[in-house]
Amino acid sequence: MASMSKKAEKGTVGSKWAKFKRYLPLYLMFLPGAIYLFVNNYLPMTGIVVAFKNYNARKGIWGSPWAGMKNFEFLFASPDAWTITRNTLLYNVVFIILNTVLGIAFAIFICDALSKRMKKVYQSAILFPYLMSAVILGYIVYAFFSQQTGIVNNSILPALGMDEIAWYQKPEYWPFILVFANTWKGVGYGTLIYVSAINGIDPSLYEAAKLDGARKWQQIRYITLPFLIPTIITLTLMSVGRIFYSDFGLFYQVPRNSGLLFPTTNVIDTYVYRGLMETGNIGMSAAAGFYQSVIGFALVLLANGVVRKVSQENALF
Amino acid sequence: MKEKPFSPYQIVTNAIMIIWTILIVLPFLLLFMSSITQEQVLVSNGYSFFPKELSLDSYKYILRSGGTILRSYGVSILVTVVGTLINIILSALMAYPLSVKNLPGRNIMMFFVFFTMLFNGGMVPSYIVWSNWFGIKDTIFAQLLPNLLLSAWNVMMIRTYFQTSIPDTLYEAAQIDGATQFRVFRSIVLPLGKPILVTMGTFAGLAYWNDWTNGLYYISKDKTLYNVQNLLNQMVQNIQYLSQSSDANMAAAASTIPTTGVQMAIAFVAILPIMLIFPYFSKYYTKGIALGAVKG
Amino acid sequence: MKKRLLALTLTLMMASATVGSAVTVSAEEEENVTVTEYGEYTEEEPYHLVFSYIDFYPQDAAAREAVQEALNEYMIPKYHIEVEFLPLEYAEYQTQIQLMISGGDELDIIPVYYTNASSWIAMNGIVDMNPYMETPEGQAIIDALGEANAYVGQMGGVLFGFPAAKESVELGGLCMRADICDELGLTEKYNLGANKDEYTGEVYDWSVATEIFKEVKEKYPDMTPLYLQGNSSPARRFCFFDELADQFGVLDWEADHDSTTIVNEFETDTYKEFVTLLAEWYDAGYIYKDAATDTQGTAAMMKAGNTFSYPSAIKPGFLVEANAANGTDCYAMYFGKNIEGGYSTTNVSFFDTGIATNSMDPDMAFKFISALYSDPVVMNFWQNGIEGVNYQVLDDGTAYFVEGEGAANFKYHLNSGWCMGNQFISYVWNDGSKTADYWDQLAHHNDWAQYSPAFGFMWDSSAFSTQIAACSNALNQYRPALETGSVGVEGVEATLQALNDALYASGLEDIMAEKQAQLDAWIEANGGSTETPAKNQELIASIDHGVLTGNE
């Protein structure tokens, strides 16, 4: 009895070691990146503590006196707290949905382009806006919507027999403008990733489907989309983690910091920037970041849990 | 294949893509036209596809800095090339183990990577680590090392691709052949993963090309290490900040810098190299990898 | 699984915690630097001092190095200090300095923008200079700035910086295109003339501007009579409040010069009257339509040729600069509600010169600051470069670029004496019509100042960052539209109401109460509120006409 269990134990230890040996190269491959992440991301993470401190440069991060939750108060002290939270969440949800749906659609269209040359043109064009900084995007939007000199007010509206509109004073138009601007600028990112995923599909699958007489949309429905699901899930889960963050440039530069547009353009990041611009309080900006991360973290854990229930292998962890 | 010229599906989808392409090109055209419009005309008449008077003053202003801008291009190119290469190697190496489904501890490793996307310690601690401990301040490493050398996001995308696009049977076959993990990585994973590696490499490269924060935080004394974005951003930011100041002296300082047209020209100068190079690269995307080739 | 993840998270946190304590140790080591005596440094081993300042115009790097070397040839024997220039960009200096302070980098002299002071002091980033004021070096600064101005950078018992010597009185009006003034006969009617920018007590009521804009609009329908920029708080050009650093709780100086009761600026009649006037102008089409969000700047608009005027602070020498910047000849006309101009802590302390706590030897750093205020050689090197290489001294005692160099192609010329140091001891830069007595003219310009009773008071806002952050957002939301008239006359009432509601909901009352308490305590300690110097009072009293309405 005793010897048996001893034998069994030895057996597991031995197989564990063998298993480890077999996987050792994989761990070694993981190592360089892990070291970098440790240095670049984990070492500075001590800074999160600053969110709970009255930061003192000469005493350092840990030597500074504690501040409790005081640094967080400004996030909720404003009557705008609800507006900025709502805006941040709604825009992100719309962005995630649109970028996924359009990204997949464009990727499929690109892969079915009439010729290789066309494919190249589409592929290059769709990425170009991604290169543009928010400041310049702001100028381009302004070129269209400026009240005095904009193309819309000067050329398009008069041609339609409509009065000019003070675009930068009317918050109701901005959800559309911002969503369009974000899609215009950002859809290329997802598209290229989906293109590469589609390129990884075994062409013989499509050929077999064609032989079976499957129509185009059936091929998409039964071959392409199922194959893209892991990519969609990964991208979405990662976006959910950053759902309390927003592209600062898009919400600050593009509406040109116009106060009257705040009801539909103010998000957490712009609120924090405006609030701390003058004083530059390190503890308060750390607090804002921590708040955004914690909510994102909680939501990701939740979403990942749901994914794991449905399909274990598509969960992130 | 060519007997039926165009199916309705092809016509509709290509029409959509052509319209979208035009929607993308038009603003760029506007951007370019504004950069060669005479400043006065631009301010008084606004932006136009058909400006009344053309002028190259904006580009002249940028070129006035002469050697500075050329050197900054040099820095950008060097950093982008080196950084992207390292980035893609590190990412692929890291993503592969994460894609091996039965690797013990994989979940923890995934979490280790994913966590860095959510939380960050902020500017000051990063500065202390990189500047005080590693002493990269005012060296070329300042443009190379912080934040951009590896992105958890890219690793995640690559591992998803590996996991879904590389059939398990290939691994099993390789293992039966007695191939080591490194061999499997080199001769199966890398060739098959080419589409995603090129794509994520592009994004890593763009991140390097577009970055100006590293220069802002870690370069203060030796401005010869500025990249193009640092240089151009500095011009744009100064224009913005100074022209909005309520102080007369600062407004006077701002008035010596040309404004709108130059910003457009700057934008153009910054993205032009990428626009020229990218179509060349894009041929790597169009190459669908024929699985059969590897299999057989 | 969840437990394991949690454990991992905790382990990682712990790992970074050890890092954090390591940071602490290194930072504390620096704190224990022993204060050295004067003269420990020698000519052979001078004190290495890092001097950061803002570079508003691009300089040639090689030329700057040459200037630095030349300056050191003078500095080392005399002060035993070796200076290292560290020019920063305006757009970036706040971030960079904050990082350098936190990282414990080598850094001595820093520019301090007045709104940053409270948080930089709170993070222990700035050396208190009070202890040095008894030294001869401290006395030199007092001699240069005057007792009141030298101590203006005093917050919560910390003297964080010295203001630059400059014109600080709030006097302003419109800068208008000369050709159109000539054509409309305004030049004659209002006695405008070339280069007439010196203030003589001749100031017009803003209603006169309405007349002018009306005429311009009638004769030149395509022209924008007035250009404003919403993001640069145009209110400052139209009516004066002692903002007490942040505009949340101010003194209504226009209504009562002597009041020390803190009020909400946006509830005062003064403010309402002014935004209503702007709204009337906007409705009448006098103001640039995109004013609330525009960022092009006055010079670009004036150069474009369809803008008639913009509001600006005016001072002697203003027109030379304006003509050059705007590419067209301009006239300046003073507007306001009073003969005298306002003068507050905010105006004076705008930018200050201070010492970072990183300094290895604040004694030596202070010595250098003192030199910036009292040693013309140091100021001239730093501001103008090397004589004969970067600039020449003209016969009349002013300075200008050397032959072959000018504003468009100079190698070294900082022109930032209004920001740090004492420009009054350096050469007058002769960029057109300035004469050797230009600094006297500027100093005389300040004689028109009627001091705010709270002049010298700076409130310590560090405990109120939460309220200030929330209030800043409220202000950002409504101010640009209000102060460019973009809300229209009909919208004024409602927008003001919305702004005030938002401010009160953000804790304005707390800020005002604390400010009032600090101000009362300051007045008590100061032995009464600040008086306007007798010389100024006499000058102001010598004007027998009131504000002009154009019908005299």
Contact A259 C467 (CB under 8 A): no
- Name the minimum distance, in Å, from the CA of C6 to any CA of chain A: 12
Task: Find, in chain B, the residue whose alpha carbon is nearest to that of C16.
Answer: B121
The pLDDT value given to residue A181: 95
Instruction: Name the closest residue on chain C to residue B238, using Cα atoms.
Output: C91
How far does the CA of residue A3 sit from the closest CA of chain B (Å)?
Answer: 28
Same domain, C336 and C379: no
C187 and C316 within one domain? yes
Residues C55 and C117 in one domain: yes
Give the CATH number for residue C184. 3.40.190.10
Lowest mean pLDDT among A215-224, C17-26, C299-308: C17-26
In 3D, which of C86, C89, C93, C123 has the Cα closest to residue C108?
C86
**CA terminus-to-terminus distance, chain C:** 87
Check: CB of residue B109 under 8 Å from CB of residue A30: yes
Q: Is residue C244 assigned to a domain?
A: yes
Calculated CA dihedral for residues C293, C298, C302, C303, nearest 10 degrees: -100
Taking an 8 Å cut-off on Cβ atoms, the answer to whether C304 and B252 are in contact is no
A-chain residues within 8 Å CB-CB of C476? 257, 259, 262, 274
Residues C264 and C317 in one domain: yes
- Interface check C305 vs B, CB under 8 A: yes
Assigned domain for C441 exists: no
CB contact under 8 A, C26 and A60: yes
- DSSP H or E segment with residue C194: none
**CA–CA dist B243, B253 (Å, integer):** 8
Looking at the complex, does the CB of residue C440 fall below 8 Å from at least one CB of chain B? Answer: no
Rounded Cα distance, C310 and C329, in Å? 14
DSSP-assigned states of every residue in B176-200: HTT--HHHHIIIIIHHHTHHHHHHH
Is ipTM over 0.90? no
For B113, what's the count of Cα atoms within 13 Å in the CB-facing half-sphere?
Answer: 30
Once rounded to an integer, what is the mean pLDDT over residues C470-495?
93
Query: What is the pLDDT at residue C24?
Result: 38
Mean of pLDDT values over B217-230: 87
Instruction: State whether C244 and C145 are in the same domain.
Output: no
Which residues span the domain enclosing C285? 172-343+461-541
DSSP structure class, residue C201: S
- Is residue C409 within 8 Å of C415, Cβ to Cβ? no
The closest CB to that of C56, out of B42, B112, B253, belongs to B253
The answer to whether A140 contacts chain B (CB < 8 Å) is yes
Question: Do the chains contact at A74 and C27, CB–CB below 8 Å?
Answer: no
Lowest-confidence segment of A201-205, A307-311, C116-120, C323-327 by average pLDDT: C323-327
**Minimal CA separation from C419 to chain B, in Å:** 9
Contact A61 C98 (CB under 8 A): no
Q: Is A54 within 8 Å of A283 (Cβ atoms)?
A: yes
Per-residue pLDDT, averaged over A249-274, amounts to 92
pLDDT band for position A100 (cuts 50, 70, 90):
very high
B81 touches chain A (CB under 8 A): no
Asked if the structure places residue C405 within a domain, the reply is no
Query: Among B36-40, B140-144, B234-238, C344-348, where is mean pLDDT lowest?
Result: B234-238
Max distance between CA atoms of chain A, in angstroms, equals 96
Amino acid at C323: N
Q: Worst-scoring range by mean pLDDT, A194-203, A216-225, A300-309, B231-240?
A: B231-240
pLDDT at A2: 43
What is the reported pLDDT for A257? 86
Domain ranges for chain A, please list them. 69-314
In DSSP terms, which residues pair with C204 in a beta bridge?
C335, C548
Q: Containing H/E element for B293? A: helix B291-295
Listed by number, the residues of chain A in 36-75 with a beta carbon closer than 8 Å to a beta carbon of chain C are 38, 42-46, 49, 54-63, 70, 73-74
Contact yes or no for B199 and A33 at CB 8 A:
no
Instruction: Using CB atoms, pick whichever of A55, A62, A79 lies closest to residue C505.
Output: A79
Cβ atoms C29, C64 nearer than 8 A: no
The Cα–Cα gap between C75 and C68 comes to 10
CA distances from C134 to C80, C129, C372 (A): 21, 10, 18
B290, B8, B15, B4: which is closest to A206 by C-alpha?
B290
Q: Count A/C contacts: CB-CB distance under 8 Å.
A: 178
Distance CA C114, CA C460 (A): 11
Domain boundary among C359, C384, C409: C384
The pair of three-digit structure tokens given for residue C331, joined into one six-digit string: 């006239």
Give the per-residue pLDDT at C234. 79
Q: Of all helices (H) and strands (E), which one includes residue B43? A: helix B39-45
- B240 pLDDT band (50/70/90 cuts)? low
pLDDT digit string, tens, across residues C401-436: 999 887 777 889 988 888 999 999 999 988 777 889
Q: Say if residue C233 is in the same domain as residue C287.
A: yes
pLDDT > 90 in chain C, percent: 60
8 A C-beta contact, residue A66 and residue A53: yes
> Kind and range of the H or E element at B32?
helix B8-35
pLDDT digits (tens, 9 = 90+) for B280-295: 777 676 554 444 344 3
Look at strands C341-343 and C449-451 and give their pairing.
Answer: parallel
**Segment B121-159, tens digit of pLDDT:** 888 889 999 998 999 999 999 999 999 999 999 999 999
Residue located via tokens 């008084």: B44
Please state, in angstroms and rounded to a whole number, the distance separating the CA atoms of residues C392 and C390: 7
Domain A69-314: what homologous superfamily?
A: MetI-like (1.10.3720.10)
Running DSSP on this structure, what letter comes out for residue A78? S
Domain for residue C452, yes or no? no
Domain-embedded: residue C401: no
Q: Which pLDDT value is given to residue B161?
A: 92
- Does the CB of C220 have a partner CB in chain B at under 8 Å? no
* Cα angle for residues C247, C252, C253 (degrees, 5° grid): 115
The predicted pLDDT at position C64 comes to 94
What tens digit of pLDDT does each residue of C154-165 get?
A: 988 899 999 999
Q: Sort strands C307-313 and C172-177 into parallel, antiparallel or unpaired.
A: antiparallel
Specify the pLDDT at position C115.
83
Residue A5 pLDDT: 44
- Is C286 a domain residue? yes
Query: Residue C91 contacts by C-beta under 8 Å, 6 or more apart in sequence?
Result: B234, B237, B238, B240, B241
Of A121 and B233, the one with more pLDDT? A121
- Indicate yes or no: CB of C56 within 8 angstroms of CB of B242: yes
- Chain C positions in Cβ-Cβ contact with residue A258 (cut-off 8 Å): 230, 292-293, 480-481
C499, C516: one domain: yes
Q: Are A257 and A226 in contact (CB under 8 A)?
A: no
Q: Which of C364, C384, C404 represents a domain boundary (last residue)?
A: C384
- Is residue C252 in some structural domain? yes
| Average pLDDT value for residue range B211-217 | 89
Q: Which of A49, A279, A285 to mutate to test the interface with C (most CBs of C within 10 A)?
A: A279
Measured in degrees and rounded to the nearest 5, phi and psi for residue C338 equal: -135, 155
* Res. C29: pLDDT tops 50: no
Per the model's pLDDT, the better-predicted residue between C71 and C61 turns out to be C71
- 3-state SS record for A159-201: HCCCCCCCHHHCHHHHHHHHHHHHHHHHHHHHHHHHHHHHHCC
- Average pLDDT for A128-156: 86
**Would you call B116 and A136 a contact, using CB atoms and an 8 Å cutoff?**
no
Q: How many residues does chain B have?
A: 296
Chain C residues within 8 A of B245 when measuring between CB atoms: 232
Give the whole-angstrom CA distance, residue C264 versus residue C500: 9
Helix axes A81-111, A268-276, angle to 10 degrees: 130
Q: What is the mean pLDDT of residues A253-261?
A: 89
B37 secondary structure, DSSP code: B
**Shared domain check, C312 and C289:** yes
For residues C102 and C126, membership in a common domain is answered with yes
Of the listed ranges A170-179, B2-11, C320-329, the least confidently predicted one is: B2-11
C111 and C160 in contact (C-beta within 8 Å)? Answer: no
Q: Which of residues 268-297 of A touch C (CB under 8 A)?
A: 271-272, 274-282, 284
pLDDT at B254: 57
Crossing angle of helices C376-384 and C61-79, in 10° steps, is 170
Q: How far is CA A311 from the centre of its chain?
A: 22
Instruction: Please tell me whether residues C353 and C339 are part of one structural domain.
Output: no
Residues of A in contact with C486 (CB under 8 A): 166, 169, 260
Six token digits for residue B25 = 């090109």
User: Is C259 in a helix, a strand, or coil?
Assistant: coil
**pLDDT for res B292:** 39
- Mean pLDDT, chain B, as a whole number? 83
Q: What is the pLDDT of residue C32?
A: 36
| Per-window interface: B 77-96 vs C, CB < 8 A | none
Distance from CA of C2 to the nearest CA of A (A): 9
Q: Using CB atoms and an 8 Å cut-off, which of residues 92-111 of chain C contact chain B?
A: 92, 95-96, 98-100, 102-105
Q: Domain tally for chain C?
A: 2
Determine, yes or no, domain membership for C426.
Answer: no
Joined together, the tokens standing for residue B65 give: 């800095």
Chain B residues closer than 8 Å to C315 by CB: 248
C290-301 confidence digits (pLDDT tens): 899 887 778 888
Give the closest-approach CA distance of B91 to chain A in angstroms.
7
Q: For residue B180, what pLDDT band results from cuts at 50, 70 and 90? A: confident
C299 and C181 in a common domain? yes
Q: Tell me: do C178 and C144 sit in the same domain.
A: no
Judge whether residue A259 has pLDDT over 60: yes
pLDDT reading at C56 higher than 90: no
Give me the DSSP letters along A90-125: HHHHHHHHHHHHHHHHHHHHHHT-SSHHHHHHHHHH
Q: Secondary structure of C392-456 in the HEC alphabet?
A: EECCCCCEEECCCCCCCCCCCCCCCCCCCCCHHHCCCECCCCCCCCHHHHHHHHHHHEEECCCCC
Q: Which residues of C182-204 are buried (b: 16+ CB within 10 A; e: fewer)?
A: eebebbeebebeebebbbebbbb
C316 to chain B, closest Cα gap in Å: 12
Residue C550 gets which letter from DSSP?
S
Is the model's pLDDT at A29 over the cut of 90?
yes
- Tell me, yes or no, if A174 comes closer than 8 A to chain C by beta carbon: no
Note the pLDDT of residue B296: 30
Judge whether B187 and B179 are in contact, CB under 8 Å. yes
